[in-house]
Chain A
Amino acid sequence: MTQRFNVQPLQPHISVLSEEGVKAIHKATLEILEETGVEMQDPQGRELLLEAGARESDGRLKIPEKLVDEALSSAPSLIPIYDRLGNLAMPLELGNVFFGSGSDTNFTFDLMTGERRRTTTQDVENLARLCDGLDNIDFVMSMGNPSDVPPDDLYVHAFIRMIRGSVKPNVYVTKDRKDMEDIYRIAVAVAGGEDALREKPFFLHYAEPISPLLIPEESLQKIIFCAEKGIPACYPPSPNTGGGGPISLAGAVALGNAECLVGLIMSQLTRRGTPFLYGMNTAAMDMKTAIVSYGSPEWSLGMAAWTDLARFYNLPSWGFGGASDSKLVDAQAGLEATFSIMSAFLSRCTLVHDVGYLEFGSTSSAEMLVIADEIIRMTRFLVNGIAINDKTLALDAIARVRPGGGFLADNHTLENWKWAQWTPKVIDRKLYHSWVEAGSKDMFVRANDVAREVLEKHELLPLQGEVEAVIADVLAERADAHQ
């Protein structure tokens, strides 16, 4: 039977910069690069840039438009990221949206006692496993800086725990070149060889320049290392409004864009075609407390703006969502997480990190992750839009319904209810008495229940023996170095 109606859903998305706006910010960015210049502290990066045609004056490197254009044309617009079993998990390209947790929190909420305490290696593994078991979390970040290992080794331990806890791709952080090398060694073992890893990377490295205008040796060396090895990398600057960036968003985005493009240029000068994830962070520095706010609408609005720039450059883009400044999982946390997740999804930012953060990135929470998973699922329902066809219009059901009678028992309902409606999991819609019978649990307690259940029941393929052997070697060498 041919369809009389068949209209694809619109799948709503937002843009916040007009074409003119995008061009204006791009132009301002070029002016920052060519006229103001950046301070490049890395000698190798300096050499690369000067050779490529940048010039040096007043201690700054001034970068011509030509270098920007060349980098933009050689950077891939699709970065395929795999899980650690070799299945394509996240094709990072414009239009797709992937969500994941955040890294490096000092504290976490203990799932059993509710206590806010310093994170451990076991927490990192547990939170990774929780991410693995949540359908709307696509990638893993550490959600903690483990305090039970020597600080110099913490990023290597965090990486190991992430891959033990999850098969999903991860975004990892390192302290220095030694970390990069050790983690690379482990990753090569996971993928089964250097070529296999280059072909099917299951991770992405996260380092940052320093806004305003400073490219430190430490982080640029990481970009160069990644480019050499073919590891996908991002280099998001943090022109936080009033802190690392101007107080006004247009300037913050232009500045961040300039700094991020320097990262892009460096990655492409090191090796053309290197996968590089564009983007930045534009949190507001709160003018009363001076904290950098992870619930600020400035960050979300800025993200929509640089994702518009990403579309102009045809590059996938890095972003943030699902985080809060609240000290606990409360209404504020839910509100801020919903706001940023919806903004991220609607603006189609490609890789959205920091889901599950509380206290502006100081504390991680399993419950917050579970709730955010629900928010993402709910937002996906909105973003999927409305398909208009014979089935969804239900004209036959409308024709046969008794006026005033309702559709509950109609075949159309009985056949389509499962996909046509969104079904809550953690959100409560019980009648009062059954809510009381079920223990009068608020959202936090229900999320805690879900998190415990996932940790108890969720299973995944453990790392292979050879990988564990390489891990043991790496850790033994590190332990020796401490002697």
Chain B
Amino acid sequence: MSGVLEQIAGVLYEGDDESVCTLVQKALNEGIKPGQVLRNGLLAGMDQVGVDFRAGDLFVPEVLISARAMHAGMDILRPLLSQSDLASSNKIVIGTVQGDLHDIGKNLVGMMLEGGGFEVIDIGIDLPPEKFVDAIKTEHPDIVGMSAMLTTTMQNMKHTIDALENAGVREEVRVIVGGAPVTKEYADEIGADGYAPDAGSAVELARSLVKQKDG
């Protein structure tokens, strides 16, 4: 039972990046393993942030301030983390499909996932299916997230999934989709592995998918 890790989680929740850094350093000085500082300090704090955000108790800027504090802590930890610590962090590639220039929802989902401990590769907007295929080939993510905000571009989610299949990479990843016109039914219809209506539930969804995969 280590008090300092709980303290880290607490100051991270408050978004106090200076104290996060001081306490991360203190924990390391006490001989606690970097991986443990990450999991039981930083990520534990972000988990609580996520829970309270989903419950409607926190505002988006408060979450982002906590995420900023987490990044500050990560900057200290990253060089010290072992290969296995790093490999255990899950990777997600996210982008907006072809013809669609909406960016903000996708960005927010990316930020929340990062706060939830994912490594997020944002590949942009207006992406033809090949860009998703290429990203899978180069990044080897666990999950691919697609965003579409228009009725006219929603169909490109299907085209992208088809392209992943044709390129033989569909089985390598879990595909999740979201955006205003998208529904659970539509996600099922096009063979996506998951749908989330907002950023908070996107994190839960991504977690449950990687758990299935790992488990």
Contact = CB atoms under 8 A, between A and B. Distances in A.
Interface of A: 104, 106, 145, 147, 151-152, 154-155, 175, 210, 216, 218, 243-244, 285, 287-290, 362
A243 B198 CA distance: 15
A151 B60 contact: no
14 contacts: A106-B180, A106-B181, A147-B151, A151-B154, A151-B155, A154-B151, A175-B99, A210-B103, A218-B101, A243-B104, A287-B60, A288-B56, A290-B60, A290-B108
Interface in B98-133: 99, 101, 103-105, 108
A287 B180 CA distance: 18
B104 A244 contact: yes
B61 A287 contact: yes
Q: Is the interface of B mostly helix, strand, loop or mixed?
A: helix
Contacts of A155: 152
A216 B60 contact: no
Q: Is the interface of A mostly helix, strand, loop or mixed?
A: loop
A37 to B, nearest CB: 19
Given A210-B101, A244-B104, A290 B151 contact: no
A182 to B, nearest CB: 14
Contacts of A106: 151, 180-181
Q: Residue among B59, B108, B151 with the most chain A CB within 10 A?
A: B151
Contact of B198 (A152, A210, A285, A289): A289
A145 B60 contact: no
Interface of B: 56, 59-61, 99, 101, 103-105, 108, 151-152, 154-155, 180-181, 198-199
B178 to A, nearest CB: 12
B152 A152 contact: yes
Nearest to A179: B152
Given A287-B59, A288-B59, A362-B180, A151 B151 contact: yes
B111 to A, nearest CB: 10
Contacts of A287: 59-61
Given A106-B180, A216-B101, A285-B104, A290 B198 contact: yes
Contacts of A288: 56, 59-60
Contacts of B61: 287
Given A151-B155, A362-B180, A290 B199 contact: yes
Contacts of A218: 101
A154 B198 contact: no
A104 B101 CA distance: 16
Contacts of B101: 210, 216, 218
Contacts of B108: 290
Ranked nearest first, the 4 interchain pairs of A and B with the lowest CB-CB distance are A145-B151, A287-B59, A151-B152, A106-B181
A154 B181 CA distance: 14
B140 to A, nearest CB: 30
A147 B189 CA distance: 15
A7 B60 CA distance: 53
A218 B101 CA distance: 10
Nearest to A210: B101
Contacts of A154: 151-152
Contacts of A152: 152
A244 B198 CA distance: 18
Contacts of B181: 106, 145
A154 B180 CA distance: 17
A151 B155 CA distance: 8
Given A151-B155, A152-B152, A290-B60, 16 more contacts: A104-B151, A106-B151, A106-B180, A145-B151, A145-B181, A154-B151, A154-B152, A175-B152, A210-B101, A210-B103, A244-B104, A285-B104, A288-B59, A290-B105, A290-B198, A290-B199
Nearest to A361: B180
A288 B60 CA distance: 6
A75 to B, nearest CB: 26
Contacts of B56: 288
Contacts of A285: 104
Nearest to B108: A290
Contacts of A104: 151
Contacts of B59: 287-288
A243 B199 CA distance: 15
Contacts of B152: 145, 151-152, 154-155, 175
A147 to B, nearest CB: 7
Nearest to A155: B152
Contacts of B99: 175
Q: Residue among B105, B152, B154, B198 with the most chain A CB within 10 A?
A: B152
A288 B198 CA distance: 11
A293 B56 CA distance: 17
Nearest to B60: A287
Contacts of B105: 290
B145 to A, nearest CB: 16
A69 B105 CA distance: 36
A156 to B, nearest CB: 11
B146 to A, nearest CB: 16
A244 B102 CA distance: 10
A288 B58 CA distance: 7
A152 B152 CA distance: 6
A305 B15 CA distance: 35
Nearest to B59: A287
A216 B60 CA distance: 28
B203 to A, nearest CB: 13
A175 B100 CA distance: 10
